A = this chain, B = another copy of it.
Amino acid sequence: MTEKLSASLEDYIEAIASLAGSSGETRAADIADAMGVSRPSVTVALRGLASRKLVFYKPYSTVSLTENGRNLAAAVSRKHRILSRFFNEILGADEQLADEAACRVEHAIGEEITDRLVEFLAFIDNCPMAVEGGFEFNSTKRQNFRNEGAKNGKN
């Protein structure tokens, strides 16, 4: 159905959703600034997104997402959040590294893997055993097993 979008266009969609806020609208210059690309690149991307019916786009005007665009943006953002949490909270990567990795990986995993990762995170959050075993995934604490493991000096 939804012809898989390139990583680049997914990034544009994600940025537009993030910038659109409550008004639902944003402009090319803001997208360019937010993404660190040139304005002509944004024009090209918007045409690509418009041709796929993911944004409402008229030259020299503001941009907003279609319903499909919003859905797609939500899906990508969800992957991003989940991955970032996994890298940071479970693996213990610092927030910046976790976020950078999430930015790239979000384009590489599908819904099934994402759903399973969600289940996994939920499990960890509710698993007292994991805490006793050395995990500290308490929603407040955000530590990870590495800290515990290091003490036990496993080479």
Stretch of A46-54, A60-68, A110-118 at the chain-chain interface: A110-118
Given the known A-B contacts A105-B108, A108-B108, are A90 and B129 also in contact in the complex, defined by CB atoms under 8 Å?
no
Classify the interface of chain A: helix, strand, loop or mixed: helix
Q: A116, B135: Cβ atoms under 8 Å?
A: no
Q: Count the A residues whose beta carbon is within 8 Å of the partner chain — how many?
A: 34
Among the listed B108, B122, B123, B129, which residue makes an inter-chain contact with A104, where contact means beta carbons less than 8 Å apart?
B108
- The CA-CA distance from A132 to B132 in the complex, in Å, is 12
Taking A119-B149, A134-B123 as contacts, is the C-beta distance between A93 and B112 under 8 angstroms? yes
CB distance from A124 to the nearest CB of B (A): 9
- Is A24 engaged at the interface, CB distance under 8 Å to the other chain? no
CB-CB under 8 A for A90 and B133, given A101-B110, A105-B108, A109-B101: no
A91 to B120 Cα, complex, angstroms: 7
Query: Is A56 close to B, CB under 8 A?
Result: no
- Can you list 5 A-B contacts with CB-CB less than 8 angstroms, sorted by A residue number? A87-B116, A97-B110, A119-B145, A127-B133, A129-B129
Closest 5 interchain pairs by CB?
A: A104-B108, A129-B129, A129-B133, A91-B116, A105-B108
